[in-house]
Amino acid sequence: MAFKTNDFQQITMDDRFRSLSPRTQRVVLNSWAKSFAEIVFPAINEERFAVLYSDCSASRPNTPINVIIGALMLKEVLGLSDDELLSSICCDIRFQYALHTTSLTEQPVSDRTFSRFRQRLYNYEIEYGFDILKDEMMALSDTYAKYLNLNSNLKRMDSLMIASNSKRMSRLEIVYTVVANAVRLLDKLGMNELIPSKMEHYLHTDDLNEVIYYRKSEDVVGRLDQAIADASALRGIMADDQWQKFQEYQLLIRVLSEQATEDGTGTPRPKDKAEIRPDSLQNPSDPDATYRRKAGKDHKGYVGNIVETVGEKGCTLISDVSYATNSHSDSAFCKEYIDQQDGKSKETLLADGAYSGTKNTSLAQEKGIELITTALLGRQPDPVIADFEFSQDGRRVLRCPMNHEPIKSTYYDKIESCRVIFEKIHCERCPHSKGCKVKLQRKTAIVMVSTKMADRAEYAKRLSTEEYQTLTRQRNGVEGIPSVLRRKYNVDNIPARGLLRSKTFFLLKIGAYNIKKLLKHLPAPRGQSAFNPVMA
């Protein structure tokens, strides 16, 4: 299929919209369709998606990219399914007006248009590693910011857990399902002679219920032992290289490495529950999903990280987004975001304590970003630690907060800290001895301190000021976004499995969220001709 841009369309003299009654035209022009047609639709960059199609002009041209992207965002704005979206495009004049298709006798979409486009995005990212849909959603956000005069350097960051669209399974269910899938693969390929007679029960329709549910009175450990033994036996049967390309075999190898270990005799045994890693297989139908416990709750699936730009007049837009398995930490998201910045403009980034860290703070300073977190993770040093004076390289303490020079200062690379020896007389009556955690010896006093501790103590002091208290309170506004994404955009019910496939839906929901923000704060345009936007 060849790539072809959708030329900018003006309403023609015989356009169907002109034949509508004045009342119907007013309804359309007073709806969301007008702003969408004049701001969102023209801003979609079709050239960005040219890489998804052939450059052979002799082949059949693609469905207009701006129609597909625009339609998929409207689907999320209005909470429609693919079938409902297709019906709306074919029958609702507002959709046709918004997508610039009122002049067409036949709408340029079918029941497979959207799923095929998502598949193209998936295949491209798998092969090249570039997420062009994210680039487009963020470019559109920049366009909306111009219309809203959102020229703010104040950003706030938060994350939300996104549930996998797959069943929560026990260890026994996971191992059983992987083994059953491998046995069914042998059966499907006509290699029944390779299936041991004791494993033929995996082919029976009711075997899952029989093993998992109907035998609950039996020891679970015994059944898990048997399932792992069957998995190990299958691994030996499918040892040839020809099986490497099958996902069933790949998951079989993976589940054995994650769930089992070999004893002294080489017999596979289930690992202790505490040894199971959070990134282990949670469900064979969604191999990318991981496990994470956060705020006292168990989560299985993915995590989205959001950066919101805050305007002076209450306007906000999501200006950056990331998506990963939920074992990805908030601190890692923060570091990745800061790394992406060019450092040319000053920026204030508000986040909660999970985004804090000495490395993130140092990196932010290098990029001209003021990272402000509501709290510090881990044990907080006493504020007095901030007043220790260090050498320029941070490997020697010059003076304590009471201006006493140490007898000796030794730096330990392994713990990146200084062991400082003071005269005992200076420390035993010092009002700060408790905060320094000084250890009194027979003739001397010892303090363990580092530049990291001093930096954390200094930052803790800054957080207590009124200016920082005001900023940290302002951060709370971003916590409404996860709630909106759950209630209105159903991020926990994404109809796709896998990291990349579910990310496509998540990005479109972010795009829909920004469109709603745009329509909410945008003044109603007057005197503009249809399909001919006037930039603010």
SS3 for 391-403, per residue?
Answer: CCCCCCEEECCCC
**Residue 272 CB neighbour total at 10 angstroms:** 8
Residue 156, CB-side half-sphere exposure with 13 Å CA sphere: 18
- The whole-angstrom separation of Cα 190 and Cα 265 is 34
Which tokens in the block code for residue 27? Answer: 């309804």
Residue partners of 371: CB distance under 8 A and separation at least 6: 334, 338, 349, 351, 355, 356, 360, 361, 364
Report the Cα 364 to chain-centroid distance in Å: 21
Residue 485, CB-side half-sphere exposure with 13 Å CA sphere: 28
Query: Residue ranges of the chain with pLDDT lower than 50?
Result: 525-536
Q: Note whether 459 and 426 are within 8 A (CB).
A: no
Amino acid at 12: T
Residue 271, CB-side half-sphere exposure with 13 Å CA sphere: 15
- The whole-angstrom separation of Cα 377 and Cα 357 is 8
Q: Is 86 helix (H, G, I), strand (E, B) or coil?
A: helix
**Residue 368 CB neighbour total at 10 angstroms:** 14
- The whole-angstrom separation of Cα 29 and Cα 25 is 6
At residue 376, the pLDDT reads 54
Range 470-509 burial, b when 16+ CB lie within 10 A, else e: ebbeebeebeebbeebbeebebeebebbbbbbbbbbbbbb
Which class for 398: exposed (0-12), middle (13-18), buried (19 or more C-beta within 10 A)?
A: middle
Q: What are phi and psi of 38, to 5 degrees?
A: -95, -20
At residue 219, the pLDDT reads 74
Q: What are phi and psi of 369, to 5 degrees?
A: -110, 130
Using alpha carbons, select from 268, 293, 260, 241 the residue that is nearest to residue 174: 260
Query: What's 372's DSSP letter?
Result: E
Which pTM does this prediction carry?
0.84
Q: Note whether 496 and 468 are within 8 A (CB).
A: no
- The whole-angstrom separation of Cα 100 and Cα 121 is 24
- The whole-angstrom separation of Cα 258 and Cα 272 is 11
At residue 528, the pLDDT reads 43
To which H or E segment does residue 75 belong? helix 65-78
- The whole-angstrom separation of Cα 516 and Cα 40 is 11
**Residue 465 CB neighbour total at 10 angstroms:** 10
Residue partners of 243: CB distance under 8 A and separation at least 6: 249
At residue 530, the pLDDT reads 40
Using alpha carbons, select from 392, 411, 341, 391 the residue that is nearest to residue 370: 341
To which H or E segment does residue 230 belong? helix 220-237
At residue 156, the pLDDT reads 92
Beta bridge partners of 418: 411, 449
Query: What's 276's DSSP letter?
Result: -
To which H or E segment does residue 411 belong? strand 408-412
Residue partners of 1: CB distance under 8 A and separation at least 6: 53, 54, 59, 60, 61, 62
